[in-house]
Structure 1
Amino acid sequence: MNGRSYRGMSAEERLTERRERLISAAYTLYSDPGFPETTIEKLCASARISNRAFYECFSGRTELMQVVHDRCVHETLLSVAKSVKQAPDTLLDRVEAGITGYIDFVTEDRRRARIMHLEVRRAGDCLITSRQQAVKAFTNMIETIVADRPEAVRINRHLLALGMIGALQELLIEWVLADDPPETDRLISTAVHIFHRSFAT
C-alpha cells in the first residue's frame, strides 16, 4: 500500500477508516446472527469493502472478534470505574455501584451484552486468552474495591471476585437468551444479594 492520498485521505487514514467500518459491522453481525454464522463475505458486504481490503485490516474473523470484544471490555471497565468513583466510600456502596454500573452499561446495548457474554464463547478456544484477560481485569477491579476493608478480612478477595464475575456472567447470559428476559433491576438486586450473602456471618 503506497502513501498517496485518495479523496483527501492518506493510505493510513483509509486503512483506519476501513478497520472502523469492519468493527462496526462485526459489532452488529457478531451479535445477530452471531459469530459462527457471520462470514467474511457478510462482514465485507455490511462494511462496503472488498474481501481483499478485509485482509489488509485483519487476518480473519477471529482477530476481528477479539478487537470487538476487547473494545467492549475496555469501555465497560471505564464505565464501571466511573460509577465506583462516584459512590460513597463504603464497601457495600462501592460494590453496589460497580454491579449497577456494570449491568446497566452492558445491557444498554444488547449487542454488547451478547458479544461479551455469549458470542466470545461461541468463537471457541482461539479467544480463551482474550476472555481470561477480561476476567483478570474485572477481578482486579473487584479486589481493589474490597481491599483494606475490615468487612473483607474473612473473605478471600480473589475467590470472591471470581465468584461475583461468574454470577454476573450467568445472569447476563440468561438475560440475553431468555424469551422473556428479566428486568435489569432484578439482575442488579440478585447480584447485590449474592454479594451481601458472601459477607453474612
Structure 2
Amino acid sequence: MTSTRAYGGQSAEARRAGRRERLMDAAYTLLTEHGPAALTVTGVCGAAKLTARYFYEHFDNREALVQAIVEAETDAVIEATLAAALTAEGGPQERAVAATRALLATTDADPRRLRMAQEHDELVLRMRQVVADRMVERLVEHAEVAWGPMAGDVRPERLRLAASLAVGGVLQLVADWAAGQTAMDRDELAEVAARFAVQTGIAVLS
C-alpha cells in the first residue's frame, strides 16, 4: 500500500510527483544545453539532485524519460495552439493567425524550446517529428475550424494530406525563425504561416 503520510506539508504523492518533475526538467535542460549524450541516469540524477533510486521509481530507462519529455512538451504546445484557434473570432485566416501566434509564444516562452527548434541531432529531430505527427492528428480532428465547412465532407486521407502539408510548412517556418534565418518579425511570420496553412488546405481539399 502506498503511503499518503504528509511530510514537510506535502503528501507522499505530491513529493513523488515533484521528484518526477525535477527529473524531467533536469533532463530537458541537459538535452538542450549539452545534447543527447548528456542524458545518462547519472547525469540526470546529478542535475536533479536525486539518487538513481528515484529515477527508476518513475522511468524504466532513458527512452522512457525521453518519451515523457516529448509527451509533456507536445501537450503543452498543442493545447495552447488549439485553444487559441478555437477561441479566436473570425474565419480560417484569423483562427490560423491566432494559432500561429500561440505556437510562437509557447516556443520562445522557454529558451529550451527555442534551442530544440534549432537543433538537428537525430534524437531532437525524432522528438520534433512526434510533435508534428500529434499536431497533424489534432488538425484533422478540427479540420472545419481550420478550413471551414469545406473540410466537413472530405475523405480522411485527403484531410490528412492537407494537415501534413500545412503543419510541416508552418513548423519549418517557425524553425527558420527560431534559427534567425528569416528577416520576418513575429507578426509578419504569423500572417505568412497562417496564410500558408489556410491556402494549402484549400488547394488540397478543393
TM-score of the two chains, using structure 1 as the length reference: 0.75
Question: Gapped runs of 5+ residues in structure 2?
Answer: none
Q: Which residue of 2 aligns with 1:91?
A: 92
How is 1:68-87 mapped onto 2 (pairs within 5 angstroms)?
A: 68-87=69-88
TM-score of the two chains, using structure 2 as the length reference: 0.74
Alignment partners' CA distance in 2, 1:149 and 1:73? 28
Is the contact between residue 170 and residue 197 of structure 2 (CA under 8 Å) also seen in structure 1?
no
Which segment drifts farther, 127-136 or 163-172?
127-136
Which amino acid is the alignment partner of residue 80 of structure 1? Answer: T
Question: Gapped runs of 5+ residues in structure 1?
Answer: none
**How big is each residue's C-alpha offset from its partner over 1:38-86, in whole Å with a ceiling of 9 and x where there is no partner?**
3222211111001222112211222112112211221222212221233
Is the contact between residue 118 and residue 173 of structure 1 (CA under 8 Å) also seen in structure 2?
no
Which segment drifts farther, 155-164 or 180-189?
180-189
Q: Which residue of 2 aligns with 1:109?
A: 110
- SS state of the match for residue 188, structure 1? helix
Which amino acid is the alignment partner of residue 139 of structure 1? Answer: L
Summarize the Cα distance change of 1:175–1:5 in structure 2 as closer, same or farther, 3 Å threshold. same
Which amino acid is the alignment partner of residue 26 of structure 2? Answer: A
RMSD: 3.7
Aligned length in residues: 200
Alignment partners' CA distance in 2, 1:54 and 1:159? 40
Alignment partners' CA distance in 2, 1:172 and 1:19? 30
Q: Percent identity?
A: 22
Shift of 1:169: 2.2
Q: Which residue of 2 aligns with 1:195?
A: 197
Q: Which residue of 2 aligns with 1:184?
A: 186
Q: Tell me if 1:31 matches 2:32.
A: yes
Which amino acid is the alignment partner of residue 71 of structure 2? Answer: D
Summarize the Cα distance change of 1:152–1:190 in structure 2 as closer, same or farther, 3 Å threshold. farther
Which amino acid is the alignment partner of residue 143 of structure 2? Answer: E
